[in-house]
Amino acid sequence: MSAVTYARHYCSRQHRTFKAAAACIFGKSPVTGEGQWAFVHEYLCFPEQDRRYSIELYSTEAEAQAEVDRHNGYGKCSGSCAGHRLVRIADLDRLIQVERNTALKEYRRG
C-alpha cells in the first residue's frame, strides 16, 4: 500500500506544524504526534454514517506504515471502524487552500 499525498486544506493560514495542517485537513478530528506521515483511522458514526477520523502523525513513513499494518492485522478493529490509511501530508509550503466540501470529497475518492 502506498501513501496518498494530501495537500488540500480549508483555511488561509500558513500552517507551521503538520499537526495544525492535519487538524485543518481533517476538520475537527483529533490529531496526536507531529510529522509529515499520518496514520488515519476512519470511523463511521451511526446512525448518520458520518465519516470521522482520528490522526496519528509520525516523522517517518515506516513508523506510520507500521501503525497502519498493526491495525490492519485486526481487520476492522471495532464496529464503527471504516479503515486504516497511510497519508503523506504535503510540505507545509505546498498546501493548497480549497473549499471544505471539495477537499473532503477528493479525500474520500482518493
- The C-alpha atoms of residue 25 and residue 48 are separated, in whole angstroms, by 21
Choose between 44 and 81: whose C-beta lies nearer to Zn ion. 81
- CB of 75: closest distance to Zn ion in angstroms? 8
Choose between 81 and 92: whose C-beta lies nearer to Zn ion. 81
Choose between 3 and 98: whose C-beta lies nearer to Zn ion. 98
- CB of 107: closest distance to Zn ion in angstroms? 14
- 22 touches 34 (CB < 8 A): no
For residue 99, give the DSSP letter: -
- Give the binding site for Zn ion (CB under 5 A): 9, 11, 24, 77, 81
Choose between 3 and 71: whose C-beta lies nearer to Zn ion. 71
- The C-alpha atoms of residue 72 and residue 39 are separated, in whole angstroms, by 11
What nine digits make up the cell of 77?
A: 478493529
- CB of 2: closest distance to Zn ion in angstroms? 20
Q: Is the peptide bond before 30 cis (omega within 30 degrees of 0)?
A: no
- CB of 110: closest distance to Zn ion in angstroms? 18
In which residue are the cell numbers 506510520 written?
A: 64
